[in-house]
A and B are shown apart, each in its own frame.
Chain A
Amino acid sequence: MVNLMFIIFAGVTVLGALGAILNRNTVNAAMSLLVCLAGVAGLFIQLDAFLLAFLLILVYAGAVVALFLFIIMLLDVKGSLGGLNRSMGTVATLVAVALMIAGVAAFLRHANLPSVETPMSVGVGSSLKAYAELLFTTYLLPVEVVGFLLLSAMLGVIALSRKLS
């Protein structure tokens, strides 16, 4: 059981992510994203953030990805079985990938993150009360702002989807 759960979920996540970006069929790509989200939710549970895990499934998987699928179905364009972007050029892509990997590696080496497995106590994030405490005291302002953001987003969407008469 040594890290086995972690490895499983991590693998699921990565495979899902790769599928999301590499799949020709757009719907398939959305499904892969779903799988990825499931993996991440599992990882959250391992990190004792149970509420967040379920929230992820509810909001992300349930709303966002659903919205994606909805739009994909709506814009049923034949040519949108998106192929890979040829205009970038293969060389540029490879260079980008290489740089990405190099960046990540360099970053990780310098990050001084402890690689020893430390036994920790049960995560603090397991109770709902803890969330509420922080949300309504320290982070009250961001909450209000985010509410405002949602309002403006809603207005924006309505404005955008009006047909000009």
Chain B
Amino acid sequence: MNPSTLALLLIVVPVGSAALTASFLRKKHALATLLSVLVATFYLGGALHLALGGARFESSYSWLKLANLSVDLGFKFDDLAALMLSIVGIVGFCVHIFSLGYMKEDPAKARYFAGLSIFMASMTGIVFADNLFMMFIFWELVGFSSFVLINHWHEQNGPMNASKKAFITNRVGDFGFLIGIILCYYLRGTVNLSELSAQAKAGGAVLSTAVPLLLFCGAVGKSAQLPLQVWLPDAMEGPTPVSALIHAATMVAAGIYMLCRIEVLMVPEALTVISWVGALTAVYAALCAIIQRDIKKVLAYSTLSQLGYMVTAFGLGSLTVHSESGAEIVIKAGVGAAMFHLTTHAFFKALLFLGSGSVIHGCHHEQDIFKMGGLSKTMKVTFLKFTIGVAAISGFPLLAGFFSKDAILFLAYSNNKAIFVILALTAAMTAFYMIRMWIIVFFGKARSDNAAHAHEGGFIFQAPLAILAILAIVGGYRGLYPHGFDGILNLVAEAEGPAKLGMLVVSLIVLSLGAGIAFALYRSVATLTQRDPLEAKFPKLFVSLVHLKESFDSLYSYYVEKVQQRFAMLLNFFDLLGIAGLLRIGAGAFSLLGFGVRALHVGRLNVYLYWFFFGVVLLWLYAAGIF
């Protein structure tokens, strides 16, 4: 089959499945589930076939032509897209299988699976997009599917508010994104990615700082960077598999993917801004994660932190390295490091989320970690896989996260020492809070009835976890990746010589620092109550971290209540006065006319004659030539 046809099918088939489910299969849950899982399997097969089969192509259909502007829908399938597609395919498949077990008793399964299908299709659209307009269209679609999925349990207030918050925050970022696209079109004459990179190679293209920064706004919204990070922790109101797929592995990574796509538009000032935004996000999220009680919120903040890593990596730009032949070349190490970390993060974060899903399911939908405990004995298999995930994210040597984080730290060390220090500190904090969570959930004795009676899920739960665990272990070895991804993975800069040793030492130091503090604070885990020892021992620190977490939310709600609402009321007043007023004036004029005409009907003969006479006089005057 023609590769571009297969690519088109990868978008159309999930959309078709979602449409079919939404129209006909709303109540037939089993059928809808089967359809969706089949589609996911087809998707995985198709994605891997395209990515590993070596097909790389570009094609496009002209969709809208307005004078000089032509909005096309096209595919740009290069190594970057291949890598992203494979991630989406693998993680999507695992999540679909996991959902079979997790959502078994849910009354609205069909709607859930339709949402998953729509998401797969929209994400594929972003991956394949060859111009910024098309990317924007599917960007919005992904936001929509995220809204639908977060809002799955829409009878409750929490999911409703969270989905609205997610959508609106994304919208704010997308506004900047759209302006950036328009500005790019205005300055460069095209939004097609290949044409843009051709322009950049040929040189002489108009470079502006505004365009990349505005386009970055879209990434700030979608990938939840400061200051638009407020929606991601709340998005945990959705079902856990959704959190795994969308808010860990793929949708939030779309921002990073987009940044890598528009790398040709970057200027040094923009890159500096981007890297600092990423670094600050990483630190902020790590600080907030330290005090969380909900297992999913810890993972959400850790996602935020890792996304900050990826954005920082991208922003750190390029590096001069020695190629195989010994010559010095400049490679886009930022893109390489960001995408590499994105890949490994997708694997271990999905593993962690699905593992937490297994834990939550096992503890009968209990999500507070201080009510769990002792699960290492009651849920052995999940414990094993979860441990792999925790080790990977903390940067335990030889696992996936170690290599990708190393690459980022090396890049930071080479280009910006201040950011290097921040990132290293964040790595230490990452190790701290992940190990904290690991200890509290799995060790000690069970702190509630639910945890005491925890049980493993079946094969349906364990199979996806196994796949992702394996990938989390081997994902760090770039040599093991198929050559189809060389275009990207070769961009990852590796330290050499003394620098290599230095990086290793730094990684180990931060890991042991974080883990050590965690073990020290929580060593008396057997006697843990439902109160956080951190809160007990360092109350002031605890309270200040809580305030840090809530600061953004309270700022935004202040703004919305006091500023935006008042402005909206003012506009409402003007609308009533002006527009409705204009209409009423028109209507009033007519009713006045009607009133006047009605007043003539007095029912008295003489008055009628008077008016008649008046007309005759007018005619006379006309005949007399006065008019």
Q: Which residues of A contact B (CB under 8 A)?
A: 85, 87-88, 92, 96, 99, 103, 106-107, 109-110
Contact = CB atoms under 8 A, between A and B. Distances in A.
Interface string B588-627: 0000000000000000101100100100110011011110
A27 to B, nearest CB: 22
Contacts of B617: 99, 103
Nearest to B617: A99
B610 A87 contact: no
A110 B610 contact: no
Contact of A85 (B606, B616, B623, B625): B606
A98 to B, nearest CB: 10
B620 A106 contact: yes
Contact of A96 (B610, B623, B625): B610
Interface residues of B, number: 13
A110 B624 contact: yes
Given A99-B617, A103-B617, A92 B624 contact: no
22 contacts: A87-B604, A87-B606, A87-B607, A88-B606, A88-B607, A88-B610, A92-B610, A96-B610, A96-B613, A99-B617, A103-B617, A103-B620, A103-B621, A103-B624, A106-B621, A106-B624, A106-B626, A107-B623, A107-B624, A109-B624, A110-B624, A110-B625
Contacts of A103: 616-617, 620-621, 624
Contacts of A107: 620, 623-624
Given A96-B610, A110-B623, 16 more contacts: A87-B604, A87-B607, A88-B607, A88-B610, A92-B610, A99-B613, A103-B616, A103-B617, A103-B620, A103-B621, A106-B621, A106-B624, A107-B624, A109-B624, A110-B624, A110-B625
B339 to A, nearest CB: 94
Contacts of A99: 613, 617
Contacts of B623: 107, 110
Contacts of B626: 106
A20 to B, nearest CB: 17
Nearest to A106: B624
A46 B336 CA distance: 125
Q: Which of B607, B620, B625 has the most CB of A within 10 A?
A: B620
B295 to A, nearest CB: 91
Contacts of B606: 85, 87-88
Contacts of A110: 623-625
B484 to A, nearest CB: 100
A110 B625 CA distance: 9
Contacts of B604: 87
B2 to A, nearest CB: 91
Contacts of B620: 103, 106-107
Interface string B467-489: 00000000000000000000000
A110 B627 CA distance: 14
A158 B507 CA distance: 122
Contacts of A109: 624
Contacts of A87: 604, 606-607
A110 B622 CA distance: 11
Q: Which 6 A-B pairs have the closest CB atoms?
A: A106-B624, A103-B620, A99-B617, A88-B606, A110-B624, A85-B606
A100 B396 CA distance: 114
B55 to A, nearest CB: 96
A61 B606 CA distance: 27
A84 to B, nearest CB: 11
Interface in B396-429: none
A99 B626 CA distance: 14
A148 B48 CA distance: 102
B213 to A, nearest CB: 78
A87 B623 CA distance: 31
A32 B318 CA distance: 120
A88 B609 CA distance: 11
B612 to A, nearest CB: 11
